[in-house]
Amino acid sequence: MDREQKRFLEEIYDQYYSKVYNYIFYRVLNVGLTDELVRDIFIKLVESHHMPSPNISFSSWIFTIARNLLFERLQKNILAQGDMPKEATVFQNEEPRKIYAILKHLNERERSVLALRFWWKLPYTEIGKHLGLSKNNVSTILAHTIKKCRRFSGTQCLN
């Protein structure tokens, strides 16, 4: 790997690491598994010998890699539902614990829409493309999910 490629990969890592991490964490709700999946995603990016086509945004390309790796794991039945994993207790303040508790009440689609909208900052149309939903359906799901979050948190979350 030459110096230019290394610098390019460092920029990608710096720009997308937290987005990828949050997207995965808020879907699996497990710190250890999130760390493992994020590592695998960036390894796949490094090993990739092609860039996305010009009509696909770079963030969509990375999201697609992240989503596909996550779905592969889901299909292998690695993820198990259960109580809050002990890894989640590493949070030092109460805010992430509250978020975790709220997210446990959401289904997979609701968590996906939240992650894509608030952590990836994708527009409704792009979220719809990724999830096979219409723009209006995404908007409705997001509105209902925010109401659900507020009900469980007792506050004005996700404004």
Best CA proximity match to 96, nearest among 155, 33, 22: 22
Q: How confident is the model at residue 45 (pLDDT cuts 50, 70, 90)?
A: confident
CA distance 73 to 40: 11
What pTM did the predictor assign?
0.54
Q: Give, to the nearest 10 degrees, the angle between helix 58-75 and helix 124-131.
A: 30
* Cβ-count burial 99-132 (b if 16+ within 10 Å, e if not): bbebbeebeeebbbbbbbbebbebebebbbebbe
* Domains annotated on the chain, with CATH: 1-90 (1.10.1740), 92-159 (1.10.10.10)
Report pLDDT digits (tens) over 70-105: 877 765 543 444 444 333 333 334 466 677 777 788
CA distance 141 to 73: 25
